[in-house]
Structure 1
């Protein structure tokens, strides 16, 4: 296995800590989606393909200059786009094609649920190769400690990231604010942090208040693709050793 590129990390070591924010589970409720679109910086919108407003939201986000992502359902998620370990590759490909059609302008993919699928080495190997062919990136939501997605993406050299902090496993304003503080502290400790949240009222309330204050706190809020360049496909300490995913 080739060594991950370290040049981007080394070149930015003296810069401010970096934060990337992805909001999942979009396309279901226009009022919540619009609040996410209105956030002031480079938030990435991860849109579920089987939602009533998926295509419209992807079009609006693209016109607004936001990063669009396909939030791909994976087992134990259900629905006509969901990936399951027992499905043959041609069906996985058909579902991926249909999901990209439902979410146009998607620059990359992250998993919705997926504790079983992201632990499936054969399926993840096929996915990472396919995303490489399509020139898309992958973000491992890390819904399971058994995930092999990040390691598989790293082995094939696919542009990828892994999530560091979930904002809202407990969707109350106090809990979300505490998780955002944890994210800021982690960014200062390791130089960057990848944060995933959901369009819960409490999450949006905290983000609307706190995101404009990040710069004053010495945090640079950057887009997903810029964070991929900053990290150079290296694993953070919680996910691996010496930059290599476990």
Structure 2
């Protein structure tokens, strides 16, 4: 082998080795639910750095004002739609006729302007209803909205119905604050980080509890140094390409149909 060919071979081998040494991508997205209830906590959530998705409940005193404020600040706003066992004037229940469900969705979207998508508030009963979830996904597709399945129940068929029609959607992987202590929340954040490293991405949902915000204010700026790329929810939907993660199904298909 000539000196020139040897040098070229070594150079190409070095490039290949450097490329293979690059760590795999680890993407993380964050949604904060239950917003619109408390101006102080809403403002603190809005001040979090990075692409936080803000899920605003329609039946809250500050829903519309906060949605406008968040949109102006460049944040992604989504409608946090109440579903059974949630109650209230907008809530979806299995015994409510479809025209009424449609009216409640329309009214909720009016109350939360600039919503780019929808996720369910509670909904352990409602998201298991195939007919209603299929209708909802079709309606969101017509409106150009995406769906986030909060997965408040293992029986949910919501994401499966979205997948059936190719609706842009994603499913939650980790709840941050089922246990409201800073230690538990920090632990759940670490679970999400490790999951992102393992499967390439993780979607977190938290709430505007003081303990949650304390942890996020401290830890979110450190994600980059840990090799985590924090991305907007729309980019996460694109990264996952409507496929189910291993915890939600098999071979990219949701287990509940």
Give the TM-score range, shorter chain.
over 0.9
**RMSD between superposed Cα atoms in Å:** 1.0
Aligned match of 2:165:
156
Q: Could you tell me how far apart the structure 2 residues matched to 1:153 and 1:172 are?
A: 34
Could you list the structure 1 runs, at least 4 aligned residues long, displaced by more than 3 angstroms after superposition: none
The one of the two structures with greater contact order (alpha-carbon pairs below 8 A, sep at least 6) is 1
Q: How much does 1:69 deviate?
A: 0.4
For structure 2, the 5+ residue unaligned runs are 1-21
Aligned match of 1:6:
none
Aligned match of 1:234:
243
Aligned match of 2:65:
56
Aligned match of 2:214:
205
Q: Could you tell me how far apart the structure 2 residues matched to 1:116 and 1:154 are?
A: 20
Aligned match of 2:181:
172
Q: How much does 1:16 deviate?
A: 2.4
TM-score by length of 2: 0.90
Q: Could you tell me how far apart the structure 2 residues matched to 1:130 and 1:14 are?
A: 40
Aligned match of 1:94:
103
Q: Is the 8 A contact 2:24 2:197 kept in 1?
A: no
Matched positions, count: 234
- C-alpha offsets along residues 46-96 of structure 1, whole Å, 9 cap, x if unaligned? 000000000000000000000000000000000000000111111001000
Q: Could you tell me how far apart the structure 2 residues matched to 1:31 and 1:196 are?
A: 20
Of residues 74, 77, 88 in structure 2, which corresponds to 1:65?
74
Aligned match of 1:5:
none
**2:89 is the counterpart of 1:80:** yes
Q: Is the 8 A contact 2:81 2:108 kept in 1?
A: yes
**2:68 is the counterpart of 1:35:** no
For structure 1, the 5+ residue unaligned runs are 1-12
TM-score by length of 1: 0.94
Of residues 120, 125, 130 in structure 2, which corresponds to 1:111?
120
Aligned match of 2:29:
20
- Secondary structure at 1:24's aligned position in 2? strand
Aligned match of 2:17:
none
